[in-house]
């Protein structure tokens, strides 16, 4: 019996990340995606986290029609290599996610859907992948 095997390391499954960013930010009163956080638009922080994540092979962003061109330019300027496509969202979050899933590569074995927690608090027991940013503090 061999204790140590030489050869190829197991291949990671091809994982596509769908970023649901087609909301209207009604409760916020202004567009959350383009707000500056640390001198950069909020959406770029999400996309850079996915870009650095070794488990993510490609990224599809789903957004509003009026943001497709500005986000495309922003992503081009940021040099995001994993970004596959930016597509228009639908009338609901569910529909937008479906539109994004339809755009991932056919070789995708896993699809991760990224979105802020919908109107709820993150829990301390939330299991995050190693590349995810830390969750915000618990709600009071």
> For the chain, what percent of residues have pLDDT higher than 90?
46
Place of tokens 């050869």: 7
Higher pLDDT, 23 or 5: 23
CA 4 from centroid of its chain's CA atoms: 37
**Mean of per-residue pLDDT scores for the chain:** 79
Average of pLDDT values for 37-49? 87
Q: What gap in Å lies between CA 91 and CA 126, rounded to an integer?
A: 29
Tell me the pTM.
0.74
């Amino acid at each position: 019996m061999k204790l140590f095997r030489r050869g190829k390391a197991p291949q990671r499954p091809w994982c596509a990340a769908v970023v649901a960013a087609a909301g209207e930010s009604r409760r916020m009163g202004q567009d959350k995606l383009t707000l500056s956080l640390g001198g950069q638009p909020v959406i770029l922080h999400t996309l850079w986290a996915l870009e650095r994540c070794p488990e993510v092979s490609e990224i599809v962003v789903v957004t509003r029609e009026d943001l497709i061109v500005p986000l495309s330019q922003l992503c081009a300027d940021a040099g995001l290599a994993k970004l596959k496509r930016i597509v228009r969202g639908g009338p609901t979050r569910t529909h937008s996610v479906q539109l994004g899933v339809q755009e991932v590569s056919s070789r995708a074995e896993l699809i991760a859907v990224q979105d802020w927690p919908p109107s709820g608090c993150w829990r301390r027991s939330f299991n995050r992948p190693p590349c995810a940013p830390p969750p915000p503090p618990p709600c009071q």
